[in-house]
Amino acid sequence: MNLVLFGPPGAGKGTQAKLLTQSRGLPQLSTGDMLRAAIAAETALGLECKAIMDRGDLVSDAIVIGIIAERLNEPDCTNGAIFDGFPRTIAQAEALDRLLEGMGEKIDLAIELKVNDESLLQRSENRVKEMLAGGQSPRADDTPETLRNRLAVYYRNTAPLIAYYENAGKLKGVDGMAPIAQVAASVRALIDAVP
Ligand code: AMP
């Protein structure tokens, strides 16, 4: 099972991907996590991407396609994967289709987590407050200004994936405003309904 989880920043993709990793044993392939790990390790890739990510812009298609291509070669991806935050552009979606085709696989399902902008801004503010209260530093791109840019980038570059996966007959939508457990149950039901 290869599943794409997409939706605006803060929609709960990472939370749902982690729950699915536990319940289905599929690896979570989060390009955001991989890029943050590169920044923390101060690799050349991390240095190249840090300023772009801090602004809330997208790093180049070539970079993220490259890291996903490498990651898909690892043995834990044999039975599929949960793509979290990738693809984010049509070019990435096409590249992912080609990569999977080369492995004799395909995307089985693309789930759009739907959450309104107002709630996303509220969720981000809450997350920052919680982290500060817990003595942790919030993500550099989790400020209200950057979140507004990340949302604009989402609508411009990533929302076209809705039509892309709809045309491929793979799109399902889930109400991401529901409580986490309810969203997780809806996601599991959609996966179980895949022929
Ligand atoms: P995320 O953790 O998925 O919200 O990603 C954090 C940031 O990493 C994004 O705002 C982008 O700057 C970068 N990023 C993550 N995934 C991608 C992707 N598929 N394409 C381009 N940039 C990405």
> Is any ligand 1 atom within 6 A of the Cβ of residue 31?
yes
The share of the chain scoring above pLDDT 70, in percent, equals: 100
> Is any ligand 1 atom within 6 A of the Cβ of residue 142?
no
Q: 85 burial class (0-12, 13-18, 19+ CB within 10 angstroms)?
A: buried
Q: Which domain holds residue 93?
A: 2-192
- Tell me what percent of the chain is helix, strand and coil, each rounded to the nearest 5: 60, 10, 30
Res. 195: pLDDT tops 90 = no
Predicted pLDDT at 138: 84
Mutate to test the pocket of ligand 1, among 18, 50, 88, 124 (most ligand atoms within 8 A of CB): 88
> Which residue among the candidates 139, 148, 172, 188 is catalytic per the annotation?
139
**Total number of domains in the chain:** 1
Predicted pLDDT at 100: 98
- pTM for the full predicted model: 0.94
Q: How confident is the model at residue 142 (pLDDT cuts 50, 70, 90)?
A: confident
CATH at 40:
3.40.50.300
DSSP state of 37: H
> Is any ligand 1 atom within 6 A of the Cβ of residue 32?
yes
Cis before 9? omega within 30: no
